[in-house]
Amino acid sequence: MSTSNIQTLAKETIELQAKAIANLVESVNDDFEQAVKLIYNCKGRVVITGIGKSAIIANKIVATMNSTGTPAIFMHAADAIHGDLGNIQQDDVVICISKSGNTPEIKVLIPLLKNFKNPLIAITGNKTSFLGTQANHVLNSYVSKEACPNNLAPTTSTTAQLVMGDALAVALLNLRGFTSQDFARYHPGGALGKALYLRVSDLIAQNEKPQVSPEASIKEVIVEISEKMLGVTAVIDKTEVIGVITDGDLRRMLKNNDDFAHLKAKDIMSASPKTISHDAMAVDALEVLEANDISQIIALKNTTYAGVVHIHNLVKEGII
């Protein structure tokens, strides 16, 4: 296969799936709305099951729901009839995913699920299938053709299932009034979660707090910057930050002065430095650093010097 043919086939695959997904808009109907309300009002969890590639999609939908405020668990359709049906509790809602809705495992499983009397939602490409006719609500994920050239390997159909699951999850999170703060609670360990909850106060707690008086000698300034290892020191007059001195300021001072023994901190500081509240989000500090092409920013608690945020703090936390 030539390079041009490879690219053509890849583009055709993407276009075919894009059209199939666009057609799913017609499948969002009253049944979809009732399914969303059923899940929203249930007192239990959402148990999502499937087999083969549909099981993989089920796992992803479970992960999306759990991270957006809808408790969900995965139950493999084959394992369900060998003991895993015990996962289903009285108040749970079951979602079964199957392209054909007629696979042998699904035909065995559905009557057993009906015995539990839990509401059943089907995500299937065949509304008249065994699954489709037995479900309380059917979310139609029909596609006319798989992207696979042989029209066999689940490609477009699994994409459609995934998108239908995402549509469910997004509708539910909106009903729940799920906010970015809620999202952060469920993602505390990742960079995404940190971007939503990490504050400047969390960052400055990791650092020393360099500061000198306006009358400090250049030697004292150098020692303070060196010992605190942040490449900067605040210049404090009583409790007010009146300036900062960076290692860049020191280099410029050395370049412009052969004799600096008489100089004080106030002579070489940069007045009116950029500052940020200690309550601000870490991502806000990043925006200020990037906008001003600087590596450090002074944090204030009200008007009092609280510490320094260095860009390395943001790198360490995965914000950058």
- Binding residues for Zn(2+) are 76
Structure tokens at 26: 């017609």
Give the integer Cα–Cα distance in Å for 234 and 51.
62
DSSP letter assigned to residue 84: G
Dist CA 93 CA 175 (whole Å): 17
Report which of 234, 208, 167, 215 is spatially closest to residue 27, judged by C-alpha positions.
167
Q: Is 241 helix (H, G, I), strand (E, B) or coil?
A: strand
Query: Can you say whether the dihedral through the CA atoms of 142, 148, 153, 159 is positive or negative?
Result: negative
Q: Cα angle vertex 209, ends 206, 215, to 5°?
A: 170
Rounded Cα–Cα distance for residues 48 and 114 (Å): 15
Strands 93-98 and 46-50: parallel
- Binding-site annotation: residue ranges: 76
Judged by DSSP in three states, 99 sits in coil
Residue located via tokens 């609670």: 185
Q: How far apart are CA 278 and CA 160, in angstroms?
A: 46
Tokens 């970015």 -> residue: 180
Q: What's the token pair of residue 302?
A: 């009200």
